[in-house]
Amino acid sequence: MKLIYTGKTKDVYELEDGNYLLKFKDDCTGENGVFDPGANSVGLTICGVGKAGLRLTKFFFEKLRAQGIPTHYIDANIDEATMTVKPATVFGQGLEVICRYRAVGSFLRRYGKYVEEGQPLDAFVEVTLKDDGRGDPPIIDDALDMLGILTLQEYQVLKDLTKQIGAVVKEELAKKGLELYDIKFEFGRIGEDGQIALIDEISGGNMRAYKNGVCAEPLELEQLMLEE
Ligand SMILES: Nc1ncnc2c1ncn2[C@@H]1O[C@H](COP(=O)(O)OP(=O)(O)O)[C@@H](O)[C@H]1O
Ligand SMILES: [Mg+2]
């Protein structure tokens, strides 16, 4: 197999059959040892976080598959910390889609004059460009359309899928006494027909979830979610 991309938290390999293999690493995004799912750099390394992130990702992608929601997922090997997926073509050079249930993180930093920290938001969907050098700028539907990244119809599909998937995650977390504040997804086109599908991962590193008013670290979140 061939290494085709070295990411912040995963390495991507191309398999002989054309599928991709994602290798989960023990790195988390953040700064100076503090976890931040919105950060553009590796801020800390936690032993075991790769496998735990993969276990949670497997849990959610299998749940989504059972509900008929399109994703890139094929299967996962926890011991090896790898996941086999269908290759996707991303929109432009990649987008991040955020679903917000409470005002924290970059939303609060940007709009803090108008919202209180933790103020409820109604599954508010926001898209940013994956552009580390420019700090992942937020982008609206008209700009995505104008720049040829996504049509307005595709934007609607993306937004609807985001709310649908966010609701699944939120409900599963709630069963374990965790409240989802926000979550980041990635989407791409897969297969011959270029169907819009969820790609990448759904782990503790992509979301903020609170337990008794305290934000859970990725590993803690994964342990809480996966314990029997
Ligand atoms: N099915 C897929 N097809 C193509 N690229 C994918 C797929 N799933 C995930 N990716 C990409 O693989 C990379 C995973 O590595 P990661 O460490 O998360 O990267 P990054 O530093 O860009 O966040 C991401 O850039 C993500 O967009
Ligand atoms: Mg990533």
Q: Is the CB of 186 under 6 A from ligand 1?
A: yes
The verdict on 60 and 73 lying in the same domain is yes
Q: Which residues, 6+ apart, have CB-to-CB distance to 55 below 8 Å? A: 78, 222, 226
pLDDT band at 13 (very low <50, low <70, confident <90, very high): very high
Integer angstrom CA distances of residue 211 from 50, 102, 208: 22, 14, 10
Pick from 9, 49, 85, 199 the residue to mutate for probing ligand 1's pocket: most ligand atoms within 8 Å of its CB. 199
Q: Of 88, 113, 134, at which residue does a domain stop? A: 88
For residue 29, give the CATH number of its domain: 3.30.200.20
Q: Write out the two tokens for 217.
A: 């670290």
**Residues of the domain holding 65:** 2-88
The pTM of this model reads: 0.96
Q: At what angle do helices 49-66 and 152-175 cross, to 10 degrees?
A: 110
Average pLDDT over residues 31-59: 94
pLDDT at 60 over 90: yes
Q: Of 88, 121, 141, at which residue does a domain stop? A: 88
The verdict on 47 and 93 lying in the same domain is no
Q: Of 49, 72, 88, at which residue does a domain stop? A: 88
- Determine the 3-state secondary structure of 225 from DSSP: helix
The verdict on 95 and 84 lying in the same domain is no
Side-chain-side CA neighbours of 30 within 13 Å: the count stands at 19
What is the per-residue pLDDT for 109? 97
Q: At what angle do helices 49-66 and 218-226 cross, to 10 degrees?
A: 50
The verdict on 67 and 105 lying in the same domain is no
The verdict on 8 and 74 lying in the same domain is yes
Q: Is the CB of 27 under 6 A from ligand 1?
A: no
Pick from 19, 22, 23, 130 the residue to mutate for probing ligand 1's pocket: most ligand atoms within 8 Å of its CB. 22
Pick from 2, 3, 4, 5 the residue to mutate for probing ligand 1's pocket: most ligand atoms within 8 Å of its CB. 5
Q: Is the CB of 199 under 6 A from ligand 1?
A: yes
Domain count, the chain: 2
The verdict on 82 and 154 lying in the same domain is no
Q: Is the CB of 72 under 6 A from ligand 1?
A: yes
Q: Is the CB of 5 under 6 A from ligand 1?
A: yes
What is the per-residue pLDDT for 228? 78
The verdict on 76 and 136 lying in the same domain is no
> 199 and 71 in contact (C-beta within 8 Å)?
yes
The verdict on 60 and 119 lying in the same domain is no
Q: Is the CB of 200 under 6 A from ligand 1?
A: yes
The verdict on 117 and 218 lying in the same domain is yes
Give the span between the Cα atoms of 226 and 179, in whole angstroms: 16
Give the span between the Cα atoms of 59 and 225, in whole angstroms: 9
Give first-to-last CA distance, the chain, whole Å: 35
The verdict on 37 and 120 lying in the same domain is no
Give the span between the Cα atoms of 208 and 36, in whole angstroms: 9
For residue 148, give the CATH number of its domain: 3.30.470.20
The verdict on 193 and 143 lying in the same domain is yes
Higher per-residue confidence, 228 vs 57: 57
**Residues 92-114: tens digit of each pLDDT:** 999 999 999 999 999 999 999 99
Tell me which residue has its CA closest to atom 27 in ligand 1.
200
The verdict on 96 and 66 lying in the same domain is no
**Residues 14-26: tens digit of each pLDDT:** 999 999 999 999 9
Relative to the alpha carbon of 197, which ligand is closest?
A: 1
Q: Is the CB of 92 under 6 A from ligand 1?
A: no
**Residues 111-123: tens digit of each pLDDT:** 999 999 999 999 9
Tell me which residue has its CA closest to atom 25 in ligand 1.
7
Q: Is the CB of 23 under 6 A from ligand 1?
A: no
